[in-house]
Structure 1
Amino acid sequence: MRRGTRLTGRGIALLLCGALATVAAAYIGEVDLLWLGLALVALPLLALGYLFLARPLVDHERSLTPPTIPVGTSTRVVLHVANQSPAQASALRFHDSADESLGGGASFTIARGFGEWTQAVGYTVQALRRGRFTVGPLWAQAGDPLGLALRGFVARGRNSVLRVTPRIWRLEDLAGGAGLGSAGDATPQRIGSAGADDVLVREHRHGDDIRRVHWKMTAKRDDLMVRLEEHPWDPSSTLIVDTRRDAHRGHGADGSLEWAVSAVTSVAALLSEGRHKLAILSPSGRVFETGHSVGEASRQLMIEAMTDLATSEETWLGSAVDDPELLTSVASLVAVTGLLSTADAAALAAAGGRARSLIALVPDAAAWHADDDEHRESIRFLRGRGWRVETFRPLEPVPQVWERVTR
């Protein structure tokens, strides 16, 4: 649809016929035919004048339920359309515009006749791509009662924004089986004879579980103290998401890129609940860092960052980990990648040199129809460097792959 007033095909044909009849009547001297020709010419012009004087006035309100959805799912769009022009007699045609990844919007017609009216119209939108998408504007087209002219316009009202996030899977607590947050095997020794006061304690740090607080020592020292455990917990984790366009197979919500983004987001959401210090890296640079936010606030900021994450034209995964300052104190390193080269594997192995928990999720090359011997060799290389590597197949649920990790 387009703005402006114009004649329809019927109006143009009637105008041409009237003009020809008028010329022919003047040539042969037929007065009755002349008047008929003039009437035919006048009708399309009157239709244009009608639409110009009786301008359509249409308002709308749009609601998205829900306004935020995971990629691959759908939302319901409801439009409340109100006609404010009592002179509007013909049917109104509408097109609610949207991005192509949302199906391009929807078209519909409302025929209510003269008078003011309100009508609700609904349709379903399915999201095939992550990001933020504008739904609207609502284009409308009004005509005269004879269908000789059309007037295109934009209905008054606000556009809506649909936020399409990665799919977030609910994962079980992985701290034990996957080693996330484990900082070593040092076992603290008791000082002196056994007793409640002899256990080693230290000052409370950001991220410590409140259940480890030693209340008796806290009262003695007038400062919050926590017990040292056999496996001290270091709540620092770095996640690597491979966004290289050429490293992935498949398209849209079912492609390996979206699988990787969904997996990293799911793991990050789990770690955020455990108040981990998080950093998410991609070949394009740093995607997210916890900073001062923790818990649910950190989780929401992370989801926002992953929603806006774009594909990269980089060809080397090592671009994600070439800054040593990002990995100096990390306890856990989790990478979800596309197809790997030997150079990619070497970069990951070097990056994980100081981490104590190394996990990589990589595509099953055969299942993704990528007969890549270098990818298989890279998997063997990483396993030989202490990485726990699991492969994922198309449409395989993330929790199913993580269950193999914890096993």
Structure 2
Amino acid sequence: MSALFEPYTLRELTIPNRVWMPPMCQYSAEPEGAQAGVPRDWHVAHYAARATGGTGLIIMEATAVSPEGRISPYDLGIWNDTQVEAFRRITGFLAAHGTVPGIQLGHAGRKASTERPWMGGAPVGPEAHGWQPLAPSPLAHADGHPVPDELTVDQIREIVGQFADAARRALAAGFEVAEIHGAHGYLVNEFLSPHSNHRTDAYGGSYENRTRFALDVVDAVREVWPDDKPLFFRISATDWLDEGGWTGDDTVRFAAELHAHGIDLLDVSTGGNVSGARIEVGPGYQVPFAARVKAETPMPVAAVGLITDAGQAAKIVANGEADAVLLGRELLRNPSWARHAARELGADVGVPVPDQYGRAG
């Protein structure tokens, strides 16, 4: 048995293997009206294919806790009960086929209100279903992006409550894992990094103040998320700046604190908060950040970043660099990657083959 295909238990939830799907926005919901943020047939087909393909855990794409928390007007949301009912169709299918359904809860902050990537990804205004973004500080993400409104303390507290409400709805929608999106330059990440957080109140300045919002969100979600279900946190382990940004040292320190606040696994990515940052990209280039957290803290970790072949993924888990791997583009290219990898490694994928596909072997 390859370590990649050993079951993994967090709290009282057992995930059948260590091949997981990370959140990847599909930008395919209606932008406004009663169906805004509601999963559609595209989402059902997209996630169902990866479940029948043997993926152990599927974390639903970044799902906004409020309308203004969407990255684009076409993002999924979980701020109302209509959305909850639509998600149940997906979570029910995943669970019925042996895959654990997860969801990432997020707020886009200053990177909100943008066009879909294949339409250029530029900021959009009210004429294209857009809105005014919010952020810790009135600093634009990049040239051509609007200066966001600086959040008041009352607004910060309101957003913390929105994360908790979203977690309650996620539970009602049938999700077994919730992940807080603290990465890639979105709102939680914006608070963490001194590059994007220039506040002078209790939510800015010192490391303790800059991490306050994230810990408030974690505490609020953990309070409503059941004790028997795991809670993840996705982090950008570095801003990829020589100075003035969030660092790997910060991540190790914060991982231990997150663990003490009830986070069960750190989903370790990097970047996204600094436009134009220089990043040395190569196979497994983000794995060392996950490995360091695992080596220096009690926090379990998942690794991401150009993990593409079975041997590479198996080695990461077997060597103890991470407890699981999250494959993004590979699972877009090949929904059955897990089954093919298990066959290559002589392992049992742990997720039953649907009867309808049994003749494929």
Q: TM-score, normalised by structure 2?
A: 0.27
Q: TM-score, normalised by structure 1?
A: 0.25
Q: Which has the larger radius of gyration?
A: 1
* Structure with the higher helix share, 1 or 2: 2
